């Protein structure tokens, strides 16, 4: 069975084509800068070589069409015909409270995702465009939606409600939803297999630290709290997002500078976080290099970034009455030893002891704590696309 996974962003489409029996990735790539000058498709060939294909792409249907063309390209295509694709799985950002698992896409599901556009204005419209494009180009192929919010639907009320007048929850669904759920679900399950421990009784803190970042407290395999909220803005300091901030500061700034909600949103989502403090870049590799050279701004930024991770790990250990495993994933979590060290440095009181040698690992499943560390600290590379493909296959086979 061949399954195509699409992750449609507002100006990008990432994709992976899987052969499910062998779990082999037949093709992968990403289209960037949709409806912007200089749009291009970057594909990775089976031999690992990368290829850039430039073409002006103005909207998502043309983007999906372009990806389909490369999938069947006589020279570097992965399939002879699109008929070989059995199903398409989509990452959908916001499923609201309607979905606690993945679903086969039909008109009702599309309507529900449309209704969540207000809650995920940057992502949901783009996710829908991807779904419409496949409907148009491959009308007979089943499609599955895998929601970023689904895994977090097990959070108890006391964790997901905001202490604002209850009527706003009732009227607009203003509550905490959480994101990166597909990743938190995958790594929290995978780490139990990796360590050979039962899911039941486990207390795991999963730190998905990428450009966007979130942490989840996973008890008995279920999420009981996570750092992102109504939108992916809450919680950790991120590449360009501020994370937790006093609502009062936002109101103050809007009044002082006469900012509209859209302008304020732009500042908090795109100009804050690492970029806001470090100024030069939102990329953690650049920050790490600058910090190693002793640059003050870089050190300040790192200190803020690591501190929030530490703080939430402490909070979630308290929320679960203890912690057995702390897990790092995402671009930063998988690769950056300095970030893992910075996040865990003061956690000795919890029984956390990192091994500096083991901590040097990159993009590989590994235990990075010492043998006598009470809490196991582990790196598990995430694979959101494989999870989406697996859910899609399970739904087609009637297993989900
Ligand atoms: N090899 C690496 N070493 C250090 N940092 C890395 C490495 N690879 C990626 N990163 C960092 O990970 C972040 C991107 O993470 P990623 O999970 O790919 O983001 P997202 O999926 O949110 O776009 C960037 O800050 C980048 O600098
Ligand atoms: C929810 C979210 O932050 O997604 P991403 O990491 O893809 O930006
Ligand atoms: Mg990501």
Q: Which CATH number covers residue 256?
A: 3.30.420.40
Q: Are residues 363 and 305 in the same domain?
A: yes
Characterize the bridge pairing of strands 366-367 and 325-329: unpaired
Ligand nearest to the CA of 123: 2
Distance from residue 257's CA to the centre of ligand 3 (Å) = 32
Q: Are residues 270 and 315 in the same domain?
A: yes
Q: Are residues 357 and 268 in the same domain?
A: yes
Within-domain flag for 395: no
> Helix, strand or coil for residue 295?
coil
Distance from residue 335's CA to the centre of ligand 1 (Å) = 8
The pair phi, psi for residue 177, each rounded to 5°, is -110, -45
Beta carbons within 8 Å of 383's beta carbon, 6+ residues apart = 186
Average pLDDT over residues 215-233: 98
Domain boundary among 96, 124, 147: 147
Distance from residue 282's CA to the centre of ligand 2 (Å) = 14
Q: Are residues 132 and 51 in the same domain?
A: yes
Q: Which residues are catalytic?
A: 148
Cβ–Cβ under 8 Å, residues 93 and 147: yes
Q: Are residues 199 and 105 in the same domain?
A: no
pLDDT for 14 equals 94
Within-domain flag for 134: yes
Confidence of residue 121 (pLDDT cuts 50, 70, 90): confident
ipTM value > 0.85? yes
Comparing CA positions, the residue from 109, 306, 322, 64 lying closest to residue 204 is 322
In angstroms, the CA 309 to CA 327 distance is: 12
Can you say how many angstroms the Cα of residue 146 is from the centroid of all Cα atoms in its chain?
A: 12
Q: Are residues 240 and 287 in the same domain?
A: yes
Q: Are residues 199 and 58 in the same domain?
A: no
For the chain, list the strands marked E by DSSP.
2-8, 12-19, 24-32, 40-44, 50-54, 87-92, 103-104, 143-147, 203-209, 213-219, 222-226, 325-329, 366-367, 376-379
In angstroms, the CA 333 to CA 284 distance is: 11
**Residue 185 sits in which domain range?**
181-384
Within-domain flag for 174: no
pLDDT over 90 at 10, yes or no: no
Position in ligand 2 atom list of the atom nearest CA 9: 7
Using a 6 Å CB cutoff, which residues line ligand 2?
148, 179-180, 210-212, 232
Q: Based on the structure, what is the number of domains in the chain?
A: 2
pLDDT for 354 equals 98
In angstroms, the CA 151 to CA 209 distance is: 17
Cβ–Cβ under 8 Å, residues 34 and 12: yes
- Strand-pair partners of 88: 4, 143
Q: Are residues 222 and 354 in the same domain?
A: yes
210 is in an annotated binding site: yes
Quote the pTM value: 0.95
Average pLDDT over residues 7-25: 94
Within-domain flag for 240: yes
Within-domain flag for 394: no
pLDDT for 103 equals 97
Q: Are residues 267 and 375 in the same domain?
A: yes
Q: Are residues 206 and 322 in the same domain?
A: yes
Task: Select from 211, 213, 272 the residue to mutate for testing ligand 2; criterion: most ligand atoms less than 8 Å from CB.
Answer: 211
Residue with tokens 């000795």: 348
Domain boundary among 102, 131, 147: 147
Within-domain flag for 277: yes
Distance from residue 181's CA to the centre of ligand 3 (Å) = 11
Confidence of residue 189 (pLDDT cuts 50, 70, 90): very high
Q: Are residues 268 and 124 in the same domain?
A: no
Longest dimension (CA), the chain: 60
Using a 6 Å CB cutoff, which residues line ligand 1?
210-212, 239, 283-285, 330-332, 335-336
Q: Are residues 128 and 216 in the same domain?
A: no
Average pLDDT over residues 46-59: 92
Closest C-alpha to ligand 2, atom 7: 212
Within-domain flag for 173: no
331 is in an annotated binding site: yes
Cβ–Cβ under 8 Å, residues 186 and 383: yes
Within-domain flag for 260: yes
Exposed/middle/buried for 366, CB within 10 Å: 0-12, 13-18, 19+?
middle
Domain boundary among 100, 123, 147: 147
285 is in an annotated binding site: yes
pLDDT over 90 at 227, yes or no: yes
pLDDT over 90 at 45, yes or no: no
């Amino acid at each position: 069975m061949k399954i195509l996974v699409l992750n449609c962003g507002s100006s990008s489409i990432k994709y992976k084509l899987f052969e499910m029996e062998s779990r082999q990735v037949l093709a992968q790539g990403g289209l960037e800068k949709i409806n912007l000058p200089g749009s291009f498709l970057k594909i990775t060939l089976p031999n690992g070589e990368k290829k850039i294909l430039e073409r002006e792409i103005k909207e998502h249907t043309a983007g999906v069409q372009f990806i389909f063309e490369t999938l069947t390209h006589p020279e570097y295509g992965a399939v002879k015909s699109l008929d070989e694709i059995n199903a398409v799985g989509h990452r959908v950002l916001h499923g609201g409270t309607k979905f606690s698992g993945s679903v086969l896409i039909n008109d009702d599901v599309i309507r529900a995702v449309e209704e969540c556009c207000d809650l995920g204005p940057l992502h949901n419209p783009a996710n829908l465009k991807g779904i419409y494009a496949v409907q148009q180009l491959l009308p007979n192929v089943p499609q599955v939606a895998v929601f970023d919010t689904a895994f977090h639907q097990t959070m108890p009320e006391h964790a997901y409600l905001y202490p604002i007048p209850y009527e706003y929850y009732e009227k607009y669904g203003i509550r905490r939803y959480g994101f990166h759920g597909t990743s938190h679900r995958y790594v929290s399950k995978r780490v139990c297999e990796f360590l050979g421990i039962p899911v039941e009784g486990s207390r795991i803190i999963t730190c998905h630290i990428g450009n966007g970042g979130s942490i989840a407290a996973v008890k008995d395999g279920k999420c009981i709290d996570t750092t992102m909220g109504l939108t992916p803005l809450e919680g950790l300091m991120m590449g360009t997002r501020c994370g937790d901030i006093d609502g009062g500061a936002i109101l103050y700034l809007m009044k002082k500078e006469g900012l509209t909600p859209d302008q304020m949103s732009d500042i908090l989502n795109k100009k804050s976080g690492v970029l806001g403090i470090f100024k030069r870049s939102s990329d953690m590799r650049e920050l790490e290099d600058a910090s190693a050279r002793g640059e003050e701004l870089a050190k300040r930024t790192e200190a803020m970034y690591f501190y929030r991770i530490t703080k939430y790990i402490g909070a979630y250990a308290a929320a679960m009455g203890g912690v057995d495993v702390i897990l790092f994933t995402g671009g930063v979590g998988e690769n950056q030893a300095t970030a893992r060290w910075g996040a865990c440095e003061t956690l000795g009181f919890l029984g956390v002891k990192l091994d500096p040698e083991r901590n040097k690992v990159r993009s590989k499943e590994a235990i990075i704590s010492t043998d006598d560390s009470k809490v196991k600290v582990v790196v598990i590379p995430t694979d959101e696309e494989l999870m989406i493909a697996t859910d899609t296959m399970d739904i087609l086979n009637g297993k989900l």
